[in-house]
Structure 1
């Protein structure tokens, strides 16, 4: 027959006049509670008296129940909660074990964790913003489970990784002893927790040892053997000194046997000592592995769970969480022996993270529909004009040729010359505009030529001081939103501000850019858009470089340029001499 054995250990902070906490256990009922009042009262022990009254009421309500199940225990907890005044902030966490079933209830705020094997998980949690409504849960326990009932303050002050580390101690008493200094160091009177160890105890009928009686014949044989020995040891002739005992020459044989026994004992001690050393070394190594595992797995699992909870709300944020989890796991791959339980758990979580990353990186297949040229004055101008590179603002389209810089007003066919090329550029790697100023990426001189609009003319300056060294040999496009972004044919993007390079990289892509040809953003955009011809997609990243989305369409593989209207949630694509529209 199997029954449940429960042992308890508690961690409780020192109370103050404004805050009080305590834990309680009796039989199969246990609880952690904290009370906090908003202002001082004349009665100094008010919270202490109130707390004891609440726990006494809970005890009376519970132990008078004829049937203890979810419904009846809920009523007992609700009846107890009526003792809590409205002006008192409460964190009241209660648990009860009936057979091998655990019932949990939280009034106000609080948390219940469970350690099962090497894993720590949350069974039930209630937050302050959810009000004082009762939250409840139930489930089956397994042998060696440890349940941790925590007030809100305890869960805030003690991290899950710290808690898991101390729960690896041989007993919950030792875990509580190690947690206590941390709790008192916080000086938070609302911190309390009760640790409950659950074990299944089997009742076994012990068999009495039976001793077989010695038979009469065996007894007689034994006596005969004794007589024969005595006869052999007796002298063969009478002694001259009857009172002097003859030396016993059998004794040396006995000493030799004793010596052999001592040698065997010494060998046994040495073997036991050696085995104990081996086990001690293995335990030390195992403890190090467990500590390393606890510093990695819970943190990665937390990031993975955060990502899962965000998938339906914000895939970009979810993907960031998955990437953080992946980095934690990848950095720890060589820390654990192959085929160890820790390595298997790490690999299992890595598989889940990789799968989640693939799901969040899937490109949206977009149907491209052909539209008239008038829908995009920018792309229409590119169709009708031969130039090295193009840029645009709200009113004009700008382009650069080997002869100079020109502009076209939107919808106009009349070209306006802005700057004559006096050997200022020979190889163009991109054109951009910002505040009516024009920027030409000059690949040959590794410089960005800035042409400042003075109103009547454009004056040329160099964007980079001579001390700054850059390499624009692979530059293909540029855009400006106050920072300058330069796209390179190898799929990298460099960012510059006031002539200084800023740390920037693209993060979170499921595959690298292949033959990217155009990058675009502006000061009003939230994101940066990249035309990735090699992968037939348009990639969207935020201003920090983190992946946001990607849109795939067959027409992109032959695209010449694109025109992004972020506010209107559409992108125009120039491909095969036609203009197409996709919605984003």
Structure 2
């Protein structure tokens, strides 16, 4: 492993790189390029080097050659085996690049930003006005923001930091104050789109895999320690219980202590009697003639001694008292001591449980981060495994929230998990921020029924006023015009084509000329009440009638519309059919999401593939001639699914705002999607 990378790993940090490259074509002697140079084993420990160069030279020099000269010089000078600090080496390297370019072309100009990573320290250099930002959390700050033309510095980085290097054009478009979210920048950087003058690096600082594995091992050790602590706590609890039992019977303790002291006193009395008897045996013996008297005297002299011993024993017994503390009896003292011990045991157990919870919390976070990192690398390669890892991470994060509900580390990881899930499922979220119009502006408690469009105009059919609102979103504020009010009673569905609006009602078919708002009823059909869907193709009108298992076609002739013609040429079950769309072929949609493809009145093979979540309640399908995709509104899953016409799943738009979705329309260039949900219209660009 290279030395710089080895030190980076040793310090537990690694750099995830996203690059936005400028257009490779130089223009008018100017070129903008990004450079990345990994450290070599033979170089000093200078770390990994990233740079963006924006230079221009005179007509006598080739800008591509100048860019190569700049990069070769920067790398050679920075990694030169000189005895100097990395920041001094970086400064010397930048000045060397400037001097070499001046030698190549006296008219050369150079703007350059460079960052080198070594361990947890970054070394920064900026010449001119390129972008150099540090995003830490939600805050983005500009580094080396002084007025000097040339600046160098160093910066300590942390896990989760993001460094953004950008060309001067990037800096003009994105200041540190209005820098987009990191996820947005990553998406733009990975899109592959190259814009002249735009070049940038997005450098995300993350814990290395080795550091994460070490953290997980520490968490395991913490769990083992927690088990030992629990055993110790159980032992302490048992001892506390025994002490509590003693506390409940202080009288038995007192009786044992009294018996002990009484035994000691009895022993003392016995010894006193022995000493008394020994003293009596040493008194002189009188003659035999007076022996009887003397024996009596001796007996009399013994009796007072024995009585004295008894009296002394009684005095000793009367003086014995259990030791007392002033104002406290022995049982109370024991009770207090046991209470103090119990409180100490409870506190110790609580403290250890908090440590165990903290260790478990750290383990869960570490494993969640590891799962999310691994899932991020599998997106597009093994989506099923990536989804499993995201689910595991979500489970770990929810368990961590159960341990510490107010922990601030959880929410950013949950957002990352959601973003990864959306990337795996190719979901573009839809929310209120995409709301572009509310029909309540035209009718209180408006009832949105259908939406269609032509060019820059969107037409919304509203039921309460019984009118079409022509909405123009091309200006700074949307404008609205009313069509057909009072003349399209019962209209339920609308389609726009070739300057006309075609409306299907329960009993009538209406046509509105968008140029003069004229309304007529060009088609008579006795089964309008059985038709459930309408579409047009080249001015011809098609009505879906599942009860008849038929699609009726009305030819647009110079003299007017023909009578209905049965377009389906073979027996075709249509139970569950809800809508149709026509692009030359006819596409029938069923409520369970099944799609039927018809060409020349006959069914053609069609299978949906790679859609991980099946349709739940499909209600609308949209496509037009020349479009690449089919758009299916699945209200049950609150989404619009985009399918290639081969059946392959392409992407989806999803959000809770679609729970009341009614209809959808897509612009002819397939760059804008409009969805009608209740009275609200949402606009999604893609």
Report the TM-score when normalising by structure 2: 0.34
Which of these two proteins has the greater Rg computed from alpha carbons? Answer: 2
TM-score normalised over the length of structure 1: 0.38
More helix by share: 2
